[in-house]
């Protein structure tokens, strides 16, 4: 697998390097590393040093990852929903195509923690070819989501070969790339990369920012390059305990995303992934945050709070309940909490 050599060789990937960089004990890092990979870019490491815990917790291994009695290895049942390796076909019209096993950072809360960054996740020319073949013979799929791992860890040339192959399949209308690179390694988003991507429109990118401190000048430039290439940008934030589980932090993040030309897409309830239980909030926490957003801030800045159903049932939106009763009249409360009604009838 070809990757961006000059940028990726500088990544911190061993317990020894991280122990040294942050001056923390080596033994716990080694124990966790035996089960889950670790990786942090020098850029994100500097942000951690500047910001502290909310970023630290996303990136630095925590011993609680090894002591999680309730988590599930594959919470979304992706393996059962894969007709060919590394392609998840869960919804009728769209598919998730995993084209890279690596990321610039291994987020401690990752839903695919079971395999991302591990040697078992062997994505090859053959698995890519099998995925393309499946997409070709399944014309019901019109929207392909490229993910991994992080697709932007591939070299420009390798990624372009995949995009070109996808564009040769007439049934595929839209292509989406899910990537955390604009947040974790923004310098990877070069003018050359943006210039390549713009040849494959309609192409959408969903980024992944979780905290206001991640909206830096570097991230702003990366998003400007993508947006100037005509790529609509979204963000899939994960609600994480001890990172962003408060209305103030999420409100600030959503506003900053709009300023760097990203339209917030999803706010995800954390999945039931093994090794990540210490990150989970209650559903009430998420609903309370949404209650503080809806109506109070620009609708453009309000994401959909969603839960990905365990067992592969798909995403469902979670919305605070404004409806009090619905009979001949809808009785509801406004975002301010006042009561209001609306007739639930049509004139004869
Ligand atoms: C999230 C997801 C999608 C895309 O869902 P949208 O709601 O359209 O963003 C598609 N396939 C799989 C397997 C997914 O997990
Ligand atoms: S960037 Fe995405 S796929 Fe990679 S470790 Fe983080 S959450 Fe997982």
Give the model's pLDDT for residue 9. Answer: 75
* Cα–Cα distance for residue pair 180/214, rounded to 1 Å: 11
Question: pLDDT band at 151, cuts 50/70/90?
Answer: very high
CA atoms within 13 A on the CB side of 36: 29
Distance CA 197, CA 10 (A): 25
The per-residue pLDDT for 4 is: 56
Per-residue pLDDT band at 249 (split at 50, 70, 90): very high
Contact 176 CB / ligand 1 (< 6 Å): no
Return the best residue to mutate from 38, 58, 112, 275 for the ligand 2 pocket (most ligand atoms within 8 A of CB).
112
Ligand nearest to the CA of 97: 1
Separation of CA 137 and ligand 1 centre (Å): 20
The answer, yes or no, to whether any atom of ligand 1 lies below 6 A from the CB of 145, is yes
| Shortest-distance atom of ligand 1 to CA 315 | 7
Cβ–ligand 1 distance for 96 under 6 Å, the answer: yes
The yes-or-no verdict on residue 139 having pLDDT over 90 is yes
Gyration radius from the chain CA atoms: 21
**pTM for the complete prediction?**
0.96
Q: How far is the CA of 60 from the centre of ligand 1 (A)?
A: 28
Would you mind telling me the total number of residues written for the chain in this entry?
348
List residues bridging with 84 in a β-sheet. Answer: 87
Kindly report the protein residue whose alpha carbon is nearest to atom 7 of ligand 2. 110
When pLDDT is cut at 50, 70 and 90, the band that residue 56 belongs to is: very high
- List beta partners, residue 88: 96
DSSP string, 283-320: HHHHHHHHHHHTTTS-GGGPPEEEEEETTTTEEEE---
Closest ligand 2 atom, residue 184 Cα: 1
| Matching residue, tokens 């099998």 | 130
What average pLDDT does range 218-228 have in this prediction?
A: 98
Whether 256 has a pLDDT exceeding 90, the answer reads yes
Closest ligand 2 atom to the C-alpha of 112?
A: 8
Coil/strand/helix, residue 260: coil
Q: Whose CA is closest to atom 5 on ligand 1?
A: 315
Residue 255, both tokens: 């506003």
The answer to whether residues 271 and 76 touch, using CB atoms and an 8 Å cutoff, is: yes
User: b/e for 209-222, b at 16 or more Cβ within 10 A?
Assistant: bbbbbbbbebbbeb
pLDDT band at 206 (very low <50, low <70, confident <90, very high): very high
Q: Express each pLDDT in 70-128 by its tens digit.
A: 899 999 999 999 999 999 999 999 999 999 999 999 999 999 999 999 998 999 999 99
Helices 125-136, 156-167: inter-axial angle, 10-degree rounding: 20
Mean pLDDT within 257-273: 98
Distance CA 83, CA 90 (A): 10
Residue 8: what pLDDT?
Answer: 75
- To test ligand 1's pocket by mutation, which of 81, 314, 318 has the most ligand atoms within 8 angstroms of CB? 314
Instruction: Tell me what pLDDT residue 1 has.
Output: 46
pLDDT at 69: 87
Instruction: Give the mutation target among 146, 177, 315 for probing the ligand 1 site: most ligand atoms within 8 A of CB.
Output: 315
Q: For residue 265, give the ligand 1 atom closest to its CA.
A: 9
- Tell whether ligand 1 has an atom less than 6 A from the beta carbon of residue 141: no
The answer to whether the CB of 88 is under 6 A from ligand 1 is yes
- pLDDT of the residue at 167: 98
Q: Determine the average pLDDT of the residues in 1-15.
A: 75
The confidence score (pLDDT) of residue 84 equals 97
178 forms bridges with which residues in the sheet?
Answer: 206
Distance from C-alpha of 85 to C-alpha of 93, rounded to nearest angstrom: 19
Residues having CB closer than 6 A to ligand 2 are: 103, 106-107, 110, 112, 116, 148-150, 180
- Spans of all domains in the chain: 74-317, 322-348
CATH second-level architecture of 74-317? Answer: Alpha-Beta Barrel (3.20)
Residue 168 pLDDT > 70: yes
pLDDT tens readout for residues 324-346 = 999 999 999 999 999 999 999 99
CA dihedral 119, 3, 8, 59 (to 10 degrees): -50
Q: Is residue 254 in contact with ligand 1, taking CB distance under 6 Å?
A: no
Percent of the chain surpassing pLDDT 70: 98
Per-residue confidence at 348, pLDDT binned at 50, 70, 90? Answer: confident
Which of these, 222, 88, 68, lies nearest to 146 by C-alpha position?
88
Q: What is the pLDDT of residue 5?
A: 61
Is ligand 1 within 6 A of the CB of residue 33? Answer: no
| 94 Cβ inside 6 Å of ligand 1 | yes
pLDDT of 152 > 50? The answer is: yes
Nearest 10 degrees: Cα torsion 337, 339, 340, 345: 120
35, 49, 121, 259, 269 from 66: Cα distances, Å = 8, 25, 20, 38, 21
Atom of ligand 1 nearest to the CA of 94: 10
Q: What is the chain's mean pLDDT, rounded?
A: 96
């Amino acid at each position: 697998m070809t990757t961006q050599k000059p940028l990726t060789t500088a990544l911190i990937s061993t317990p020894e390097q991280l122990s040294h960089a942050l001056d923390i004990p080596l033994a716990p890092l080694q124990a966790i590393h035996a089960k889950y990979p670790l990786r942090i870019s020098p850029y994100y490491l500097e942000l951690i040093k500047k910001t502290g815990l909310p970023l630290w917790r996303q990136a630095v291994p925590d011993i609680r990852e090894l002591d999680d009695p309730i988590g599930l290895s594959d919470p979304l049942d992706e393996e059962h929903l894969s007709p060919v390796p590394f392609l998840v076909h869960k919804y009728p019209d769209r598919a998730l195509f995993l084209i890279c096993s690596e990321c610039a950072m291994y987020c401690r809360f990752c839903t695919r923690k079971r395999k991302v960054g591990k040697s078992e996740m062997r994505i090859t020319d053959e698995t890519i070819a099998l995925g393309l073949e499946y997409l070709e013979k399944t014309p019901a799929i019109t929207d392909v989501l490229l993910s991994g791992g992080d697709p932007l860890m591939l070299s420009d040339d390798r990624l372009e070969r995949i995009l070109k192959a996808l564009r040769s399949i007439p049934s595929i209308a839209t292509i989406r790339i899910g990537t955390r690179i604009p947040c974790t390694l923004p310098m990877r988003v070069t003018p050359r990369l943006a210039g390549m991507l713009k040849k494959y429109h309609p192409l959408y990118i969903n980024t992944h920012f979780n905290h206001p401190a991640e909206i830096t000048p570097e991230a702003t430039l990366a998003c400007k390059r993508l947006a100037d290439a005509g790529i609509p940008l979204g963000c899939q934030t994960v609600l994480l305990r001890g990172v962003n589980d408060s209305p103030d932090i999420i409100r600030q993040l959503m506003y900053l995303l709009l300023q760097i030309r990203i339209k917030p897409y999803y706010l995800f309830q954390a999945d039931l992934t093994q090794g990540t239980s210490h990150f989970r909030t209650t559903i009430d926490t998420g609903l309370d945050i949404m209650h503080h957003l809806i109506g109070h801030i620009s609708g453009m800045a309000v994401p959909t709070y969603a839960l990905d159903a365990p067992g592969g049932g798909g995403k469902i939106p979670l919305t605070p309940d404004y409806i009090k009763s619905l009979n001949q009249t809808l009785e509801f409360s406004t975002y301010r909490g006042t009561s209001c009604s609306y007739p639930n009838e049509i004139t004869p």
